Amino acid sequence: MAKFRLYLKQTITYQLILMFLRHVREFFETFGSIAYQLVQVLKYIFSFQINFKQVMEQSSRFAVDSLPITLSIVSMTAIILSMQVAPEMVKQGGKDYIGLLVALTMVREIGVIMSGFAIISMIGSAQASELATMRVTEQIDAMEVLKVSPFKYLFLPRVLAGVIMMPFVVIISSTVGILAGGLTAMTAGKDVTWLCYTTSVWQGLYIRDINIMLLKSACFGGAISLISSSCGYSAEGGAKGVGIATTKAVVWSFVAIVIIDCIFAVAFYF
């Protein structure tokens, strides 16, 4: 029996099952940790224990520092979309609907999703590596020894900054994307004028879509900051642990915003 167990542990099937179970356990541990930290953050928000100076500092970092890369990604995506769609729409006699298509795509999906990806790549990874470095260098341990809550001074300002500033970033990036798509449509599509494009945009864009975009972007910002901070807070193992925590934060943030986006699509457009 002992030899059989030893042989079984050496099989590929056993190793795959063990790896799967380990990933499932890590998933639930991470999800539970994030949920617990969210409760702690909400507790300080509802009790109005907010350091507005720290919130402003994190807001500046969240929005201003990430805006150039966000605008670049969103505008290039809109240009590519318009470049491929405009000539085909003109061929089919639908030049009056190019602006509508670009505007709805930007407001409902591309503007929010691409902005979220840019924020994750630049701000989320930075937040995770910052808190992970504080953890492995025992700075967070020192805060806990001094009875200073890490959730109040590290999590809360970042989460609030994400919730507050993400809608502004999405508004600016979506507007720039729509304008860039219009300029591209005028170049790529024959007989497409600026008046035709803008008229189509206003005819197809509704306040409801904008409100949903703002709510979704606020959820994205809060989720990115919370997940990045949580993964950094749970880091261990020195410099290698910082890299693992940063990678984990990026992956979890990508998955989270896709799931949130799916929930919004089912709730409001299905």
Residue pLDDT, tens place only, 35-79: 888 888 888 888 888 888 888 888 888 888 888 889 999 999 889
Confidence of residue 14 (pLDDT cuts 50, 70, 90): low
Instruction: Please report, to the nearest 10 degrees, the dihedral formed by the alpha carbons of residues 12, 14, 20, 26 taken in order.
Output: -120
Decide if pLDDT at 10 tops 90.
no
Average the pLDDT over 5-9 and give the result.
63
Decide if pLDDT at 204 tops 80.
no
Decide if pLDDT at 215 tops 90.
yes
Token pair belonging to 95 = 């030049």
Decide if pLDDT at 8 tops 90.
no
DSSP states of 51-110: -HHHHHHHHIIIIITTHHHHHHHHHHHHHHHHHHHHHHHHHTT-GGGHHHHHHHHIIIII
Residue 158: name the closest of 226, 67, 249, 256 by CA: 226
Token pair belonging to 136 = 């492995």
Quote the pLDDT of residue 217: 93
pTM: 0.86
Helix (H, G, I), strand (E, B) or coil at 153: helix
Token pair belonging to 254 = 């990508």
Residue pLDDT, tens place only, 219-254: 999 999 999 999 888 888 778 888 888 988 999 899
Quote the pLDDT of residue 227: 92
Decide if pLDDT at 3 tops 90.
no
Confidence of residue 163 (pLDDT cuts 50, 70, 90): very high
Confidence of residue 167 (pLDDT cuts 50, 70, 90): very high
Average the pLDDT over 161-185 and give the result.
90
Decide if pLDDT at 157 tops 70.
yes
Name the DSSP letter for residue 151.
I
15-19, 62-66, 172-176: least confident range: 15-19
24-33, 78-87, 162-171, 172-181: least confident range: 24-33
Quote the pLDDT of residue 5: 65
Average the pLDDT over 193-201 and give the result.
84
93 Rama class: left (phi>0) / alpha (psi -120 to 50) / beta: left
Confidence of residue 86 (pLDDT cuts 50, 70, 90): confident
Residue pLDDT, tens place only, 118-140: 999 888 888 999 999 988 888 88
